[in-house]
Amino acid sequence: MKDISIMYHYVQIPGLKGIFPFDPKEFELQIEWATKHYDIVAPDDLNKPRGKKPYCVLTFDDATKDQYEIAFPILQKKGIPAYFTVMSGPLLERRVPVFHLIHTVLSFFTDEEIWRELTARFDVKAVPERSHYYSYESSPFRRYNKYALNFHLTEQQSRSFLEEKALSVFHSFENFINSYYINEREFIKMCQAGMTLGVHAAHHRPFTGDAKAFYDSEIEPCRKFMADRLGVDAKWYTPAFGGGTQAERMMKELGEVLRDHGFKGAFTTKSGFNNGLDSFWLHRYDCISLPPRSEVPWK
């Protein structure tokens, strides 16, 4: 029997254009489907003796407020555990990561408008050829924008461009952070209700190629925040961007560092089945592209 993990990001009523949001009604129906075919468990339970069904872990990236306000009550109502990741930077430093600025800006400005401005201000000639990383985006301009802002430009170039546009809409990043992210009190409530909390990132940066330096800058600060402010000794990790363009190298080199610091496992963005905890790096299916058994309809 093969286990699966399902990856969720935004679970909210459609309207955000920067990334595909999963509708709450579809989320609830998908959970009902999953419970028919799998025993839904916390990550720590993947190696426990099982019954007739394989295991399924529900995972949530990026710590956005809709996960607390919409997904969490549904899980509570059904008595189902799940795994949520923590991103410490916005809560500690009151600074929005570049990738969430991208989601926000792409929700209020057209793809063509953003690409036109990027082309006028920066050297982005190489971006179209390299943007296949976002091949799931049907709009070529959306692919170009996401790749340019996440990977091609420096973080400071992207931040300067995006903050200017975001502030023209929201005026204050303090209000943005308070309304956009799960806060400490809410994380503690989720943990007390049986949800597993794991490390996502401090600043949501892709893997840099230096495993030790990356652990020290992106993983350890978030883990320390969780211990100091949430009372959680984090043992699970989910890399931002699935590791990014150096994901394969990340899995080879970062795993040993994580194990040395007591981590039990980590979740990738690569599709595939799992077999308990036979592998440190666990595959995940995105909620909109489950394996063949998902032909059982939930819509």
Could you list the beta-strand ranges (E) of the chain. Answer: 4-8, 39-40, 55-60, 83-87, 196-201, 236-237, 265-267, 281-282, 285-286
The answer to whether the beta carbons of residues 73 and 206 sit under 8 Å apart is: no
DSSP state of 192: H
Indicate whether 276 pLDDT > 90: yes
- Tell me how far apart the alpha carbons of residues 234 and 246 are, in angstroms, rounded to a whole number: 24
| Residue 134: Cβ-neighbour burial (10 angstroms; 0-12, 13-18, 19+) | middle
pLDDT tens string 249-262:
999 999 999 999 99
Domain over 4-93+178-295 is classified CATH 1.10.3430.10: no
pLDDT tens string 262-273:
999 999 999 999
pLDDT at 54: 95
The answer to whether the beta carbons of residues 264 and 279 sit under 8 Å apart is: no
Average pLDDT, the chain: 92
Stretch 180-199: mean pLDDT: 97
Q: Which of 104-113, 131-140, 207-216 has the highest mean pLDDT?
A: 207-216
- Tell me how far apart the alpha carbons of residues 41 and 30 are, in angstroms, rounded to a whole number: 15
Stretch 84-100: mean pLDDT: 93
